[in-house]
Amino acid sequence: MRYIPITQADKAAMLREIGVSSTEELFAANIPAEVRLNRPLNLPPALTEMELLAHMRELAAQNVHTAEYACFLGGGAYDHYVPAAVDAVLRRGEFLTAYTPYQPEISQGVLQAIYEYQSLMCELTGMDLSNASMYDGASALAEAAGMVVNQTGRSKLLVARSVSPQYRRVVQTYMHGIGVELIEVPLDGVTLDLNRLEALMTDEVGGLLLQMPNYLGYLEEVREIEALVHAKNGLFVVAVDPVSLGILEAPGHYGADIVVAEGQGLGVPLSYGGPYLGILATRDRFARKMPGRIAGATVDTRGQRGFVLTMQAREQHIRREKATSNICTNQALIALAATVYLALVGKEGLREVANLSLQKAHYAAQQIAKLPGWRLAGDAPFFKEFTALAPASAADVSRHLLTQKILGGLDAGAAYPEILDGAAGAVTFAVTEQRTRAEIDRLVSALGEVK
Query: Which residues make Cβ contacts (< 8 Å) with residue 302, sequence separation at least 6?
Result: none
208 beta partners: 158, 236
Q: What span, in angstroms and rounded, lies between the C-alpha atoms of 299 and 294?
A: 16
**Residue 353 and residue 80 in contact, taking contact as beta carbons nearer than 8 Å:** yes
> What mean pLDDT do residues 215-240 have?
98
The pLDDT assigned to 165 comes to 98
Whether the pLDDT of residue 2 is over 70: the answer is no
Could you report the per-residue pLDDT of 275-291, keeping only the tens digit for each? 999 999 999 999 988 99
Task: Report the range of poorest mean pLDDT among 101-105, 354-358, 442-446.
Answer: 101-105
Query: Which residues make Cβ contacts (< 8 Å) with residue 362, sequence separation at least 6?
Result: 382
**Residue 282 and residue 259 in contact, taking contact as beta carbons nearer than 8 Å:** yes
3-class SS of residue 251: helix
Compute the mean pLDDT over every residue in the chain, rounded to the nearest whole number.
94
218 beta partners: 382
Q: Is 36 exposed, middle or buried (0-12, 13-18, 19+ CB in 10 A)?
A: exposed
Q: pLDDT: is 40 or 135 the higher one?
A: 135
Cα separations in angstroms, 259 against 122, 128, 206, 212, 240: 10, 11, 16, 10, 7
Whether the pLDDT of residue 99 is over 90: the answer is no
> What mean pLDDT do residues 242-269 have?
98
- Nearest-5° Cα angle at 41, 39 to 43: 140
Q: What span, in angstroms and rounded, lies between the C-alpha atoms of 169 and 176?
A: 10
Cα separations in angstroms, 272 against 206, 250, 422: 35, 29, 34
Task: Report the range of poorest mean pLDDT among 15-29, 300-314, 319-333, 374-388.
Answer: 319-333
Cα separations in angstroms, 41 against 35, 44, 45, 52, 168: 14, 9, 11, 19, 40
In the chain, where are the structural domains located?
Answer: 70-81+346-448, 84-341
Nearest to 246 by CA among 139, 336, 337, 124: 124
Q: What are phi and psi of 157, to 5 degrees?
A: -145, 135
**Residue 374 and residue 447 in contact, taking contact as beta carbons nearer than 8 Å:** yes
Q: Are strands 425-430 and 385-390 parallel, antiparallel or unpaired?
A: antiparallel
What angle, rounded to 10 degrees, do the helices at 332-369 and 437-448 form?
50
Other beta carbons less than 10 A from residue 268's beta carbon? 26
Q: Are strands 70-71 and 406-407 parallel, antiparallel or unpaired?
A: parallel
Whether the pLDDT of residue 377 is over 80: the answer is yes
What is the distance of C-alpha 402 from the center of its chain?
Answer: 26
Q: What span, in angstroms and rounded, lies between the C-alpha atoms of 186 and 241?
A: 21
Nearest to 384 by CA among 366, 368, 367, 364: 364
> What mean pLDDT do residues 233-246 have?
98
331 beta partners: none
Other beta carbons less than 10 A from residue 227's beta carbon? 14
Q: What span, in angstroms and rounded, lies between the C-alpha atoms of 67 and 121?
A: 30
Whether the pLDDT of residue 133 is over 80: the answer is yes
Could you report the per-residue pLDDT of 322-344, keeping only the tens digit for each? 777 878 789 999 999 999 999 99
Nearest to 145 by CA among 231, 282, 258: 258
Whether the pLDDT of residue 406 is over 90: the answer is yes
Q: What span, in angstroms and rounded, lies between the C-alpha atoms of 84 and 86?
A: 5
Could you report the per-residue pLDDT of 344-357, keeping only the tens digit for each? 999 999 999 999 99
The pLDDT assigned to 29 comes to 76
The pLDDT assigned to 390 comes to 97
Other beta carbons less than 10 A from residue 88's beta carbon? 10
The pLDDT assigned to 37 comes to 85
- The dihedral built from the CA positions of residue 249, 253, 256 and 262, taken in this order, carries a sign that is positive
Give the gyration radius of the chain's Cα atoms.
Answer: 25
Dihedral of CA atoms 194, 198, 199, 205 in degrees, nearest 10, equals 120
First to last CA, the chain: 63
The pLDDT assigned to 33 comes to 83
Could you report the per-residue pLDDT of 28-83, keeping only the tens digit for each? 878 888 888 888 899 889 999 999 999 999 999 999 899 999 999 999 999 999 99
pTM (two decimals): 0.89
**Residue 419 and residue 413 in contact, taking contact as beta carbons nearer than 8 Å:** yes
Fold held by 84-341: Aspartate Aminotransferase; domain 2 (3.40.640)
Task: Report the range of poorest mean pLDDT among 36-45, 135-144, 177-186, 308-317.
Answer: 308-317
Question: DSSP states of 258-311 as a string?
Answer: EEEEEGGGTT---GGG-S--EEEEE-GGGGGG--S--EEEEE-TTS-EEEEE-S
Q: How many CA atoms lie within 13 A of 93 on its CB side?
A: 0
Strands (E), 122-226: 129-130, 156-160, 181-185, 187-188, 191-192, 205-212
Q: In which band, very low, low, confident or very high, does the pLDDT at 319 lie, cut at 50, 70 and 90? A: low
> What mean pLDDT do residues 292-296 have?
92
Could you report the per-residue pLDDT of 359-372, keeping only the tens digit for each? 999 999 999 999 99
Whether the pLDDT of residue 191 is over 90: the answer is yes
Q: How many CA atoms lie within 13 A of 27 on its CB side?
A: 9
Evaluate whether the domain defined by 70-81+346-448 bears CATH number 3.40.140.10. Answer: no
